[in-house]
Structure 1
Amino acid sequence: MAQAALRPTLRGPTFIRLLARLAEIDVVASGQPLPDRLGQWLDWKHALSLAAALDGHPAAPEAAEPAADGLHAECARAREVLATAIKDDPLLAAGHAPADGDYAVFRQACLARQRAMQATVGRLRGKLRDALQGSPGMARLAEVDAVMEVALTPREHALLAKVPELLEQRFERLRVAGRASTTWLDGFRRDMQSVLLAELDLRFQPVDALLAALRTS
């Protein structure tokens, strides 16, 4: 208990804090400034594309942009659909039939939710970038977002692919501690649901940023 009390409080996204807690590890915040860390994630081709997007002069839009109000509503609906699918998933409901000690069904559910989030967020970012073509400043922002999506998506995939593995480790620790009882399974379901909802919030951050820019355009 004393050792746990001495653990530093981890600051950052809820998603990271949840994973650190479930994995029972101490995560130390990086002392590197964000631009330095970002430089390590971009190869020279992506760096050149980013520089071109920042320094370029976007062309005037050739077609009318989608209505901002409609896009705000669409993004909100899409997010709610994903969140509801996680909250109402029968597999994650308390009291659901046990998984016979097998994590595989939970892994498949986690991967399915992650694929749905990825597809939805990618589609929304594309629509929002199209909507930001009305002014040179906003069009430049849209180009930067497009470059960043291409550059950082592989790293994002690699990092988020670890979520099912971390959840499996949590599953096994709870299963061993729970032994003959099945109450541990409901605790795991709550943990998995919380992680997926936090991941949804994390994945929607670029969408939220583009929506904020659209409000000011």
Structure 2
Amino acid sequence: MAQRTLRTGLTGSALMRLLAGLTDPQVRWSESRAAFADGLSQWTGWADAIALSAALDRPLAKSPTSGDEEPLRYEEAYAEYQRVRALLARAIVREAGAVGRSPLDAGLGFSPYRQCYVARQQAMDVAIGPLREQVRAALAAGTPELARLAAVDTVMAQVLSNQERRLLATVPLLLEKHFGRLRAALASGAGDGPGSEDGAWLDLFRQDLQAVLLAELELRLQPVEGLVEALRHNEPLRSLS
């Protein structure tokens, strides 16, 4: 499944819009966004600010590179970015469509869906972290400006990673509440006859589960996308050097 590139910030991401709607369809998105933005201001402390300031103020000196090691080029970085993105997206579509359909999952409620979501989050961690480091290393071997960007990204990843992980860990809890509301609203009309537990409301929930996972994937990939884009702008300069 081809995914549209999202260039919005965290507070304007598709993930946050989806969660706002699933949590309470009546809630105003602007209010939800403002509350979340206020929370972001609490993510960094004074020590983090000092580290970030040091990275921003670092001298614009060319980073040393190994004479035998050619820095990653934009085409290579972009191809690897697209490969990882497509691999993770395909796994999300496959797993979200299959979860809860096994007879072993019958009667377990939200538990199989929680396990599916957490497993996909772990897969994103494992794949995107090394990809980001690889692209960051390519930047560090480029111009002094790109080396500074790589240093800033290193600090930002260290500062925000724990907070981001804590925030994303709450997504399954929000989905569980949505699961309960959807089951109460849609399964109640189907009665208690055979098949009501596996009714259309579960297919609807699987679609929501997939949409939220894909939105989280795009959110997690945004820093990598930005680094790859910076590397693209550096290609003409590298070819002239």
Decide whether aligned partners of structure 1 residues 172 and 147 sit closer, same or farther in structure 2, where only a CA change above 3 A counts: same
Picking from 62, 66, 70, the partner of 2:65 is 62
Q: Which runs of 5+ in 1 are unaligned?
A: 1-10
TM-score in terms of structure 2 length: 0.77
Picking from 92, 95, 101, the partner of 2:97 is 92
Amino acid at match of 2:210: Q
How far apart, in 2, do the equivalents of 1:94 and 1:120 lie? Answer: 22
Q: Which moved more, 1:155-164 or 1:62-71?
A: 62-71
Amino acid at match of 1:13: S
Query: Residue 42 of structure 1: CA displacement?
Result: 1.3
Aligned length: 204
Query: Residue 37 of structure 1: CA displacement?
Result: 6.9
Aligned to 1:49: 51
Q: Which runs of 5+ in 2 are unaligned?
A: 1-10, 235-241
Decide whether aligned partners of structure 1 residues 38 and 144 sit closer, same or farther in structure 2, where only a CA change above 3 A counts: farther
Amino acid at match of 2:137: D
Q: Is contact 1:95-1:186 (8 Å) kept?
A: no
How far apart, in 2, do the equivalents of 1:40 and 1:95 lie? Answer: 38
Q: Is contact 2:89-2:214 (8 Å) kept?
A: yes
Pair 1:114 & 2:121 matched: yes
Q: Is contact 1:15-1:195 (8 Å) kept?
A: yes
Amino acid at match of 1:105: P
Aligned to 2:112: 105
Decide whether aligned partners of structure 1 residues 95 and 56 sit closer, same or farther in structure 2, where only a CA change above 3 A counts: closer
Q: Is contact 2:62-2:143 (8 Å) kept?
A: no
Query: Residue 93 of structure 1: CA displacement?
Result: 4.2
Amino acid at match of 1:157: R
TM-score in terms of structure 1 length: 0.85
How far apart, in 1, do the equivalents of 2:62 and 2:123 lie? Answer: 33
Picking from 53, 57, 78, the partner of 1:72 is 78
Give the 5 Å matches for 1:1-217.
Answer: 12-24=12-24, 26=27, 27=29, 28=31, 29-30=33-34, 40-57=42-59, 58=61, 60-63=63-66, 64-89=70-95, 92-93=97-98, 96-97=101-102, 99-101=105-107, 102-133=109-140, 134-177=142-185, 178-179=187-188, 180=192, 181=196, 182-217=199-234
Q: Is contact 2:146-2:230 (8 Å) kept?
A: yes
How far apart, in 2, do the equivalents of 1:200 and 1:96 lie? Answer: 24
1:101-148 CA distance string (max 9 Å, x none): 421111111001011112222111101110012111000000000000
1:64-111 CA distance string (max 9 Å, x none): 31232111101100000000001122x524993574242111111100
